[in-house]
Chain A
Amino acid sequence: MSFVAKATTQRLLAVHGWSGTILGLFLYLIVVTGAVAVFAGELRTWSQPGLDNQAVFDRPLKLERPLAPTLAKLSESVSEAYKEEVQISGRNDGQLQIVFHGHAKNDQGKTEDTRVLHVLDPSTHEVLSREEGFQSEMPPPPRSALMDFIVTLHVNLHAPDPWGLYMTGILGFVMVIATVSGLILHRHIITDLFVSPRLSSRLLNSRDRHTLAGTWSLPFGFILAFTGAFFSFALTIGVPVLAFAAFGGDTDRLIEVIQPIEIIAKSPGQVASIDEIIADSSARVGIAPSSIRLADYNAEAFSVRVNHLPLEGGINGVSNLYDGSTGKFISIAPFVGTTPSAGSSFASLMGPLHFGNFGGLVSKLVWGALGAALAYVTLSGLQLWVRRRAERPAWAWMNNTVILTGYGVPITMLGAAFGYFPALGLSADASYWTALGFLGSAAALLVLGVLVRKAARLTLILQWTMILALALTPCLRLSFGGHSWFELMQRQDVTSLAIDLLFWIGAIWGLVSMLNIKLWPSKTVETRSVPAE
């Protein structure tokens, strides 16, 4: 049953096909890097010795000593200008971080966040380092240059702001259009739900593969594309336009309205115990906090916001608001604004829906699988478009381009790792060599694409390259200062161990496929068929 007229169907097909073709290669890059970025925390820990990303993202703060005496002692050495706000949180390397915030005009006359940043041992609260100055002058937290590179590639294609965000926003929008047009175009979407790809012709097989993957991925394809486009456009277009509309162009005022600092009437002479507040909040929620914010801290906190990670089964964390003077519980703080609202509830969904980090490793595995499925949808769509035009010589180059991109994106990400690990081990500039590894492997693949014109030969070379790169990556990590498997087991870092094994499993799987090794006897009867690939 067709819901739309023939002419409209043709237009929608043109939209679905051409937008996917023109931007599909970039979209594939975004989707694949996105699927990898879901595991940014785990991959950071895997790639950078000394990092423990779980300390920040998946576990509450480890508060082994009372915070109040530490806070009081630190604030004695911090000037009043930095006491607009205090934030207490964990760090990538498992240390505790206490930051005093203020605002001041920098050399360019622009108001910028100023900080006094303390890094402390979580067990003894001994101050390990102290930095003071503008936010832009602060040393970056411990990081993995490899994962920073891949995540930034996903967020803005490493293009300068705002152009990079515009590009990724447009790609997200294209995917929204593709999912909606695909839904309208697929006339038998429910009855075709279980129709496995037919073998009567290569073109039909390609079409069925694409539509089947697209149909099942439709809900999350739309959600991920919509939320991704939102994130790209929110700061670049949304904030300036809404500031213009509602606050005469004052973006600071807009941010203040959406994310206000709660001002609570001060009780003179009273200072509540931060430790009692934390204990009360933890008892209410059932887990220890992940971070604490003291607003307008000036020896007497006006408000204390205690943030907790999502409870088991939940999506969003819980933030409890307290009177800093009396320690009295005020309310559960909404995601944005001062009062719970429909807008705040909706806004709170965007992050979890896009990042998939609300349920620990389980939700990340599901989101990673969704990303892989969407990557397949994108690539199979490109393949279908090219196969429909296989008889036209002008499109032969596009076929090779699709093959090159399909294998090339993961190979270049592994190329980035090939630049990163040696640089890390040899104490070179890891960011520089990571980028060089990526660009170098991309350039090598382009040269390969130019020299090797036959699709079958190109595919074969790329497959062997991928198998080799997968097999060598854990070896590189281990050879250049990464934790050995024994050390990982001692640190109870099962995830990093599993990541190493997954690389090798991937390489072995590829090898088995390439060599056509049958691991178990096939029971299916050989039918008349055309190879799908």
Chain B
Amino acid sequence: MSTVQRIAALVAFVLLWTTLGAGTSAPPAAAQDPNRLVVGIGSIPNTPDPHLDSTANALPAYATLFEKLVATDGKGGFRGVLARSWRQVDPTTWEFVLHSGVRFHNGMSLTAEDVKFTIERILDPATRSPWLGRISAIERVEVTGPLTFRIVTRGPFAPLLQGLTVVDILPAAYFQERGPAGFAAAPVGTGPFVFGEWHRQDRMVVRANLGYWRGRPRLDEVVFRAIPEDSTRVAGLETGELDVGVLVPPEQVDRLKARGLQLGTVNLGQGMVVNLRSNVPGPLQQRKVRQALNYAVDKEAILQSILRGHGRILNGQVVGPDAFGHNPNLKPYPYDLSRARRLLAEAGLGGGFEVTFHGTIGRYTKDKEIEELVIGQLAEIGVRARLEIVEGGVYIQRHIARTLGPLWIWAWQYFPAMDADLPLNFFTCAGVGNFFCSRDFDELFAQSRREMDPVRRRALLQRVALLVREEAPVIFLVQTPGIYAAQKRVKGFAWRPDYLMDLHRVEVGPR
């Protein structure tokens, strides 16, 4: 053989060997087994440790393995999950009683010590839990009995239960014995499914917890597949490789329906708006101008022509009726160009003005189309907005650093706690990345945070909402739709506004 031939043979061998040899170890996870549900979602948890990933797509997978003390009830209130009951002893002390007979997947019984350990772990900055901020008002947890404990907060902190809706309870003894890495390799919770496999950026497999304290799930196995590309997810639904797929683009709905899939839409706990920077000199400092922009945008057109009827128009507040603190008496700003022009003229800006509009592509459902439509409509009243697209990775940071805008698209997320307190916190003068500042707002909002009586707190948040509508610190658009599709044989699947899925009761029929 000549040198050339020898080298060619070597190259061919190396290529063949790597092609056939590497990486192919796992069994196929296609939707073959009648009792297995394959869920296609944009990403899976970054780690099986639920305290270390707060991304929305991670929440449904974590919820199969772990449980919280409380959950929202979908009507602005709370229901106990691991907590059987709770009551407030004084403005800073809450007393909880756990359900008895709850067992972790390793057979250990749930006790108050596990709750104390869990909360302290999140509170420890060394853990680097992204959930820390939600419960950082907690000063300490006192165990008062095997199933009873007290949570003491630094000062009155009304949204404590909201904070607890993200806290997955872990088994203290097991965790301490295995350490963080050992726990992440074989996580144990109290949820309806037990851990099976986790392959980074690829899939997570969970299996039925036969001894689940509320009865075994009907499915034997659930596979969460990370599929970042929307078109691929839709293709996977069409080929039957996926049983369920979430975040289906609105324009694909008819196509999937024609293929015989079931389609559903949930209005996610996420209010899409255009933020208006009014705490720096410029036209937006005038309330009339901000209101004019709201009158100039046709929300119905966004809903019908871009989202094809999926989603819900925000009625002059950043949360939908599924949130605690939603004000049912508010109405959306009507689409009224002459009123918008009049308000601009009254503000001395009858000739309109030029402004930068920062947008994204692919960060939110149909964001680019919505940005272009809004800009076109603002042009009708002489507001000439220049669209500048900002790369997704730096969007939040520029928001926090206050270098977006004066106009920029944004979605205020309020799941899983489903409470208006979450987004409104950013509208305070001292809020992270704040862009609006009103003393009246700050006073009223602070009052709501100190108010421990839910009825009075709701009324206060509703007053805050009214004030926000009048002040118009944003252009209110829509509540983002979460469109999902499921194969015909899947029974009982629904996606919830808080991004979770009740997989406990889902069934899969024969193919």
A and B pair up:
no
